[in-house]
């Protein structure tokens, strides 16, 4: 169970932090907060390394005693323990860490970068109102941003919300089926 939970969490976090790295990369290229900046293979490697470090910093702690992996939902997959009351595993601090560092921060970064991207493209389109290609690019970027953010939210919000609800309402009754649906969404991201 620990290995399956670790691999599922690691895979989900790699996907999540890859979205963040892509969002930041698009932000830097389009919005130019650092002036004219050229991405190189070194930057791509740094993005990959960062993604894996962040994913490991979320998935590995339960293997070493900070929380644990247990069967969840319909008992056919494993995930972090965010609902038991056992203080021996320090579940509360781990869940807070996960919610802040591995959900709230990525959500903020994705919204900030893609929001800035849309504003920058709209401003460029307003300056070049006659250009059909600029208007088309604006529509494509806006559509891409909306789809990326919606995809992220559909995949992760049910799981994070359900985990937060159970965490904040210790001892609340819940069914295996009600846990399985949010876990399914996050694991298919």
Q: Which residues sit in the known binding site? A: 92
Give the 3-state secondary structure of residue 122. helix
C-alpha span between 1 and 168 (Å, rounded) = 25
Nearest to 179, CA basis, from 56, 165, 102: 165
C-alpha span between 22 and 104 (Å, rounded) = 17
> Residues within the annotated binding site for Zn(2+)?
92
Q: DSSP string covering 29-85, please?
A: HHH-TTSS----HHHHHHHHHHHHHHHHHHHSGGGGTSS-EEEETTTTEEEE--S--
């Amino acid at each position: 169970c620990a290995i399956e939970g670790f691999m599922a969490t690691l895979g989900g976090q790699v996907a999540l932090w890859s979205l963040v790295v892509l969002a930041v990369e698009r932000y830097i290229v389009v919005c130019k907060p650092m002036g004219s900046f050229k991405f190189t293979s070194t930057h791509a490697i740094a993005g990959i390394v960062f993604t894996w470090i962040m994913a490991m910093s979320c998935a590995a702690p339960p293997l070493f005693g900070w929380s644990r992996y247990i069967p969840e939902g319909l008992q056919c997959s494993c995930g972090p323990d965010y609902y038991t009351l056992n203080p021996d595993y320090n579940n509360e601090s781990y869940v807070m860490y996960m919610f802040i560092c591995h959900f709230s921060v990525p959500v903020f970064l994705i919204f900030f970068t893609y929001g800035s991207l849309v504003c920058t493209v709209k401003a460029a389109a307003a300056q070049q109102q006659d250009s059909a290609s600029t208007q088309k690019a604006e529509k494509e970027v806006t559509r891409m941003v909306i789809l990326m953010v919606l995809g992220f939210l559909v995949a992760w919000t049910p799981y994070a919300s359900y985990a937060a609800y159970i965490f904040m309402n210790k001892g609340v009754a819940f069914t295996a089926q009600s846990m399985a649906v949010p876990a399914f969404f996050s694991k298919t991201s």
